[in-house]
Each structure stands twice: as C-alpha cells, then as structure tokens.
Amino acid sequence: MTDQRNAEAMIPEDHPGLAGEEKLGQLEEALQKAADRELRLLADFENYRRRTSAHMAEERLEEKKKLVLDLLDVLDSFRLSLEHLPPDTDSFISAGVQAIYRQLQDVLRAHGVERIDPAGETFDPAAHEVLDVVEDADTPPLSVTRVYKYGYTLNDRLIRPALVQVVKDE
C-alpha cells in the first residue's frame, strides 16, 4: 500500500495521464448535465403539448357550444310552430315539419346534446331558470308545472338551463 502511495507521489503534476483523467471527468460531468437538461426539456415539451392539447379541446368545445346554442333557437322555433299549427293545416305539411324537428333533434343528440325536460320535477336552480311562479294548492311547492324552453347539456355540461314555471314555495 505504501508502495502505491509512493508511486503516485512520484508522478509529476504535469503528467499527460493526469490531465486526461481530469479532462475525462469534466467530459463525463458535462455529458451528465446535458443528459439531465435533455430530460427536463423533454418533460417540459410533453407538459406543453398536454396543456396545448387540453386548451385546443376546450376551445373546440366552446365553438361547438356556440353553434349548438344557435341551433337550439331554431329547434325551439320548430317546437313552437308545431304547437301552434292551425287545425286545418295540411297533414303533409304538419308531418314534414315534425320530421324536420325530429331530424334536428337526432343530429344534436348524435353530437352529444341532451334535452332536459323538468316537467313535474322539483325545481333545481343548477339546471332550471324560473320565468314565473304560480300558486297551486294541489301541487307540491317548487314543482315545475310548465316548461317554456327545454334545457340542454353538451357532453354532460349544462349549456342552457330550462326556462320554467314553478309552484310558489310557502
């Protein structure tokens, strides 16, 4: 053991092998730092990609929501026209309007739009909006007695509350 120490002590400091080992150590350290930096950059990029993807999906859903809300106004108009068709309306016209109404409902349903029909249910402020209140001793308080406009969800998210009439709470 003392022979090895003596041998190391005999090597001059400017010996080319010593400089090479030091250089090798520096290179290995630099390589490790570069590898760590690459891993961090890859992780950062993956996080960025996820955030961007989620943001774009949210923007697409918001644009879809805008279109659906516009189409719901058309659907409401069809429903009102069906409810107010004069009794002497040609049956072919009536059947045609009903077919278009059903087709529009089917298209919306195929794209994740579901109707909320709260008739007879208890008022839910998270899904219903009160248009008017009536007194009715035969009906439980806060029951929905009339639906002026149906509510709708898009992919299980409320996009339009139902516009309703409720029984007065005592």
89-95 average pLDDT score: 86
pLDDT on residue 15: 52
Could you give the CA distance from residue 73 to residue 66 in angstroms, rounded to a whole number? 11
Q: Is residue 124 part of a domain?
A: yes
Decide if 19 is inside a domain. Answer: no
pLDDT band with cut points at 50, 70 and 90 for residue 137: confident
Position 136 pLDDT exceeds 80: yes
In the chain, the number of structural domains is: 1
Q: Residue 76 and residue 148: Cα distance in Å, rounded?
A: 9
Task: Judge whether residue 155 has pLDDT over 80.
Answer: yes
CATH number assigned to the domain comprising residue 160: 2.30.22.10
Residue 127 half-sphere exposure, CB side, CA atoms within 13 Å? 20
Assigned domain for 10 exists? no
Convert the pLDDT of each residue in 27-54 to its tens digit.
899 999 999 999 999 999 999 999 999 9
